[in-house]
Amino acid sequence: MAKSKVAVLRTTPATAIRDYHSVMNLAGYQEVIAKDADTALKVNISWHFFFPGSSTTPWQLDGVIRALTRDGYDPSLIHACHNRTVVIDARLGERENKQVNVVNAHGLRNIHIYETEEWINIREAVGDLTKKFTCLNEVYPKGFMIPKRFIGENIIHLPTVKTHVFTTTTGAMKNAFGGLLNEHRHWTHPVIHETLVDLLMIQKHIHRGVFAVMDGTFAGDGPGPRCMIPYTKNVILASADQVAIDAVAAKLMGFDPMAIKFIRMAHDLGLGCGDPRDIEIAGDTSAGAENWHFVGPFEKMTFASRMQHKIYWGRMKKHVEWSLKTVLAPW
């Protein structure tokens, strides 16, 4: 069986755009992303204000779009894709993070899936796949809605390398969280690792192709995905294996990928490779072997993060769990 491949390159401000073209092709994206299907560029906005390492960077988005068009992909079949959250204003975020400037400069469609798109029940979308879910049937007994346009589309996730107070790290797998689940996605926080695994099952079923391009020009350590300490690392990653790219990013940050629950679960279920020993690093192998010795998200959590941990997994859970599906807990 062929190893999963993750491409890793060092980059500079002067070469970033062409480096994105290189890293995507090193990872074999044209074998995964069909040219005759719509391609959604799933933008990540973790904070509606620019903060290094927090959200999809404009040079990341620009580099990916230029790579696609250079390689013959029809711009009319490419669109940026945004979700909505209760804590982030996507319209403000795309402006403050300069993402909408890039989309407009290339003349692409800019789709906010909550504003114009039709949504369908997951049971209609994936059928018996729901029987394999590890947690979502319990969280949503009546099912949940997903964007109908995702079915048959390619998707390219555009995460950054950073830590997260719920999942230790966040990247390609968690970037699907906002797009596939509606505003009630916070109901899944007590089972967030299992949720990410179920969402990857869904992605592999509904999308024509799934790919990720991760920006590590700035990488975030600490209680992410917002309140982080940014570091200049100047690496970029790409892969068709969502588990493998998250594993390599976690290893770069100094964590054991197989000790991170969502990576281990996805690996064990055969949804991708989470064991770095079985992942081929294409491109700059020395960059892929770095260890940044990040502290991680749990050492200096914010007050809000500490309270969320107590509610979702700590001693407050049994007392307030009833409120998680009410207006009392909008996040």
At 86, list the tokens. 């209760």
Please name which of 322, 78, 288 lies closest in space to residue 190, comparing C-alpha atoms: 322
Half-sphere exposure of 125 (CA within 13 A, CB side): 25
Q: What is the pLDDT of residue 131?
A: 97
Asked whether the beta carbons of 246 and 169 are under 8 A apart, the reply is yes
Q: Distance between the two ends of the chain, CA-based, in angstroms?
A: 42
Supply the mean pLDDT for the chain: 92
With a cut of 90, say whether residue 18 has pLDDT above it: yes
Least confident of 52-56, 87-91, 153-157: 87-91
For 283-316, what is each residue's pLDDT tens digit? Answer: 999 999 999 999 987 777 675 666 665 666 566 5
Asked if omega into 159 is within 30° of 0 (cis), the reply is no
Please name which of 270, 249, 187 lies closest in space to residue 53, comparing C-alpha atoms: 249
**How many helices (H) and strands (E) are present in the chain, helices listed first?**
14, 12
Q: What is the pLDDT of residue 166?
A: 87
Which of the following CATH numbers is that of domain 4-300: 3.40.50, 1.10.8, 3.20.20, 3.90.1520?
Answer: 3.40.50
The domain locations on the chain are 4-300, 306-331
Q: What is the pLDDT of residue 223?
A: 87
Asked whether the beta carbons of 219 and 233 are under 8 A apart, the reply is yes
Region 111-137: mean pLDDT is 95
H helices of 75-140, in order, are 90-96, 99-105, 113-116, 122-126, 136-139
The residue to which tokens 């079915």 are assigned: 151
Please name which of 146, 75, 70, 159 lies closest in space to residue 109, comparing C-alpha atoms: 75
CA angle in degrees (0–180, nearest 5) for 137-138-140: 65
Query: pLDDT higher for 141 or 301?
Result: 141
At 169, list the tokens. 């790290």
Rounded CA-CA distance 295/298 in Å is 8
For 160-206, what is each residue's pLDDT tens digit? Answer: 999 999 899 999 999 998 889 876 777 888 899 999 999 999 999 99
Rounded CA-CA distance 218/182 in Å is 29
Rounded CA-CA distance 88/71 in Å is 34
Give the confidence band of 88 by pLDDT, cuts at 50, 70, 90: confident
Query: pLDDT higher for 85 or 81?
Result: 81
With a cut of 80, say whether residue 331 has pLDDT above it: no
- CA-derived radius of gyration, the chain: 18
At 189, list the tokens. 């926080």
Q: Give SS3 for 84.
A: coil
Q: What is the pLDDT of residue 304?
A: 65
At 223, list the tokens. 């209680």
